[in-house]
Amino acid sequence: MILVTGGLGFIGSHTVRALLDLGEDCVVVQRRPRSLPAMLTGGRVAVEQADVADRDALLAIGRRHDITGIVHLAGSYPWPPAPEAPVEAARQAIDGLLNIAQAAQEWGVRRLGLAGTIGVYFGAENDGPLREDAPLPPSTSAVIPTFKKIGEMLGGYLADTTGVDIVNYRISGTWGPLGHADPFFAAPALVHAAARGTAPDLSDLAGPAFAEDGLDLNYVKDTGRAIALLQLADELNHRTYNVGSGRATTNAQLAEAIRKVVPDARIDLPSGGHTPHLVLDITRLREDTGYQPEFDTDRAAADYIAWLRAGNKA
């Protein structure tokens, strides 16, 4: 039975779905009450409400379920940033990661997966697809990449000292059903606007969006399946894996795919954009799990729009 923290969230729900499809039972851990997404109803899913920063509550779950693996997707970082109490927020984030590692050791799980981000590469030399062994900038002004780097380093230490197989997932820009507006890429806003027949609301973006802006975008169903494959692989040859599509998708390419479904979509963006695009090298993932993305941009856009038009809200 695989425990998935944040298992009723965006990427979490799709990871649980993929694990179920691969024959695994799952326990999902959520800090706040949340209804089971439709894609998980009728499946072999137990739901536990707990905060990973509460060690006793987390460890108690292992007395109620036979946990064989852990996928840690719950946010282990102070987000949104907490300027009024930064030290306490950082302490809780690190405590959550340490508690998960302790649970993995005490329960004797085979593998613990830690969710990271493509953001750890921000500022790295970028003359082609980014490999996991690329030198990373030692610091960043962004909260999430900072704590993900800390998590990777702590994970490496704990893997060496506890004997638990701890694996890092550097997840690319992910979009699709159950998702939300993202501050770093426009894909969700463009798809929602097309489905509603409105102009896109880009107010959540950290900066202006241009047609030629691009990023390694991965459809969430592919992201969830990649994580499930990493969790269940008989043997992994590395501790860190990029999880993405292995290609850049620009806003112009996405708009073209959307208009194949919604020809009159009002999603024009001004010309221009920032280069180079961040693209992940997924050779390790492909070689060690057999993973290949199933959704190209056209198929992903059509699937997401159909899901929204069916009355789903996110």
Instruction: Name the residue ranges covered by the structural domains of the chain.
Output: 2-173+218-243, 176-217+246-277+296-309
Is residue 138 over pLDDT 70? yes
Is residue 143 over pLDDT 90? no
pLDDT of residue 289: 98
pLDDT of residue 33: 81
Residue that wins the pLDDT comparison between 298 and 146: 298
CATH of 176-217+246-277+296-309, one of 3.40.640.10, 3.90.25.10, 3.40.30.10, 3.50.50.60: 3.90.25.10
User: Yes or no: is domain 2-173+218-243 CATH 3.90.650.10?
Assistant: no
- pLDDT digit string (tens) for 52-104? 999 999 999 999 999 999 999 997 665 566 667 788 888 888 899 999 999 99
* Residue-by-residue DSSP string for the chain: -EEEETTTSHHHHHHHHHHHHTT--EEEEESS--PPPGGGTTSSEEEEE--TT-HHHHHHHHHHS---EEEE-S--S-SS--TTSHHHHHHHHHHHHHHHHHHHHHHT-SEEEEEEEGGGGTTS--SSSBPTTSPPPS--S-HHHHHHHHHHHHHHHHHHHH--EEEEEEE-EEESTT----SS--HHHHHHHHHHTS----TTSSS---TT-EE-EEEHHHHHHHHHHHHH-S--S-SEEEES-SS-EEHHHHHHHHHTT-TT------S---SSPB-B--HHHHHHH-------HHHHHHHHHHHHHTT---
